[in-house]
Amino acid sequence: MISFPNCKINIGLYVINKRTDGFHNIETVFYPINVNDALDIVKSPDGYFSFQTSGLKMGKDFENNLVVKAYRLLEKELNIPPVHIYLLKKIPHSAGLGGGSSDAAFTLMKLNEIFELNLSTEQLQLYASKLGSDCPFFILNKPVIATHKGDAFNDVTLSLKDYRISIVKPNQHVKTVEAYQMIKPHNKSPMLDKLVTQPIALWRKSIFNDFEEVIFNQFPEIGKVKETFYNNGAVYAAMSGSGSAVYGIFKDTIPHMTFPDNYFVFNGKIE
């Protein structure tokens, strides 16, 4: 049974304070974008579990892959039988796009469907939260204001369907833990739910990603991507998550922009 896990972008990302559990409370908008992996899950005909991948290179320890962890979680909790899983990986790693989290969430949803587990959205989100902070978002897969660890959601009225998006990931890998260690928390909410209701042309001066300053200082190539977007007419551009992908939102046709061959580049309409 094939599904197509999508990625997300962050519109604004504010680190509010550090929690007693070591994580941080944040405030951000998660917005789904149609850059997709392909995930095929079928019941095992031979009684053995298998996991195969192609596309972008992945680590060899498949038990640490979030897709396998999602299966193992339901195997342990609900005693589901073995399956064969094939993942075509197109969403880049270490990009701030949530590709691995999306793969895990879609795995949970497909296993729920295949084995008729009758898990509710809330139950699926609970399982997803055990796999990663932003995994529960992909169960909903609609624009939301995300708070707490990025796993508490409020509805937001926001549509970018009249726009086009360019996503570029330089060949740098940002370690999320190290990025958080360099951030100074705000200790107050930026009221992002109000800020995103402004015309998008005003976002450039009012909606920010707290990680950009420290990441751009460490990896100037990432900051140059944002600069390129604005120099070519983007109405808004920002780094997604803690990086290293940067996106530019364009009102009309995306202009031709030249990036190094080893960069990931996606251009398309926002659906």
Predicted confidence (pLDDT) per residue in 86-115, tens digit: 999 999 998 999 999 999 999 999 999 999
Return the CATH class of domain 2-155: alpha beta
Residue ranges, comma separated, of all CATH 3.30.230.10 domains in the chain are 2-155
69 included as an active-site residue: no
**What pLDDT, on a 0 to 100 scale, did the predictor assign at position 248?**
98
The answer, yes or no, to whether the previous bond of 129 is cis (omega within 30 of 0) is: no
pLDDT of 60 above 80: no
Asked if 85 and 40 count as a contact pair (C-beta separation under 8 A), the reply is yes
**What pLDDT, on a 0 to 100 scale, did the predictor assign at position 136?**
97
Active-site residue, selected from the candidate residues 8, 90, 110, 226: 8
**What pLDDT, on a 0 to 100 scale, did the predictor assign at position 135?**
97
**What pLDDT, on a 0 to 100 scale, did the predictor assign at position 78?**
98
**What pLDDT, on a 0 to 100 scale, did the predictor assign at position 76?**
97
Q: How far apart are CA 124 and CA 122, in angstroms?
A: 5
193 included as an active-site residue: no
Return the CATH class of domain 164-269: alpha beta
**What pLDDT, on a 0 to 100 scale, did the predictor assign at position 172?**
86
pLDDT of 231 above 90: yes
Active-site residue, selected from the candidate residues 134, 151, 210, 226: 134
Residue ranges, comma separated, of all CATH 3.30.70.890 domains in the chain are 164-269
Mean pLDDT across 50-58: 93
pLDDT of 176 above 80: no
